[in-house]
Structure 1
Amino acid sequence: MVKPIDLEIDYNKPIRLMAIMPSFHKHNFVDKEHSKLSLEFFSFEILEQSDSLALSLTNIDREKTVCTKINYDKNDVFDLSCYLPHPPNSLLKIIANCSPEKQQDILKLRKHILCFHEKIQEIYAPGVIKYGRGKDNICVEIRQDNLFYLYLPIPDRQVMGSKYPLGKMQIFTNDFQQINLIGYILKGKRSIDKVYHYKDFEKFIQVIDSIESLNQLENLINIALQNWLERL
């Protein structure tokens, strides 16, 4: 047997096939189940820890996570927030009647959403701003009269033992930080079908390292963003 890089590889160890991606689509798991090859799925993310970055790698099957520090030059880091377009006039008109403090809170949330992923699009029309990609993969909506919507897992409708279907939720908040109520709206309807509370969605919150603690609305937005990313 030819061993071209014998000094770098231990040929006595078994071969492992690994797929490493930020997230996996449900079809990936179906393909894995029916594959003749033995595959391991690993998800990864880059975490910000104080003044450093870390690579988090999770074995999805074993639910085991390891982290390692990333050495990098800060001058080489691409910061999306430095390249954000100015808020569109549609959004400025929607928030025009808000207090200056609430306007800044909404613009801060906009920055948070657009900086989540480079593929996030800001889709605007009179009276509504949508965030996502295309018309069928939306995660956040801001509408006239400060109506705020998120596409979140429906907490009491688990499917197939693990998946929760997504639903359009109207978010009731006075300060764009703390949550009063969350109203589920059926597809194609305008009225609220069922009311939930913030605690119903806490099971979907992913613990992340962050310099600043997140408020309730930011936590819900992160849930919507993560589910959006999984649907890409």
Structure 2
Amino acid sequence: MTSHPARDAVWLADLGDRLARAGFRLLGRFEPAPDDGMPDARAGHAARAVFVVGSLSNALFEIFARSPEAADGLPDPLDRFTRRVLTRLAESEGLGIVFPFEGPPYHPFQRWTLRAGSFSRSPMGVLAHRTFGPWAGLRAALLSPEPLAVPAASPADGPCPTCSDMPCMSACPAGALSQAGYDVPRCLAYLRANPTAPCHAGCLARHACPFGRAHAQSAQAGSFHMRSFLS
């Protein structure tokens, strides 16, 4: 049986460094409970620690743009890049891995991420992070069959419950945001009917969010994601 490094603070820091070099970010971790619906880390070995992996668009986009997936003209280039890079990393560490784009059925990634802390649900349908605002994308969950020998910090709250003005709601020109939630068909209809709208370079509601503005998408990254949304 292949031996793997102890899941200690040194290992955790190294994992974060390896993810960062590939354009990704370790967003949090938690010990799964029976009702989390967590798949096994390996066949017959339950996941005892879960690491939520995400990205900030600009850092990831710079690396992804140089990848073969970005140039091959095939569908879902970012998902395929994510799968290739993170699967190789997971295998080298003896970790299982699942992705938010696998399905149906889809894994409850938002629920898992909320378990890791520092996030809250937002009116925009995405989770908002206390530091990164609505700009942290969810890319994968790494599953360890061994526990992490570092106690997890008490989960911090996300930012949205503290936001009384909610500028995201009024910034959407499609009127797709309301107290009832995010109206995806209305958003799509507006974008298709208005091909020169500023939204095509990035969601205006996200840009209006007062949290995480230093991490906002560039127009290049925003245009890529909006094209993917519309495809």
TM-score (norm. length: structure 2): 0.23
Greater C-alpha Rg: 1
Instruction: Pick 1 or 2: higher relative contact order, CA cutoff 8 A, min separation 6.
Output: 2
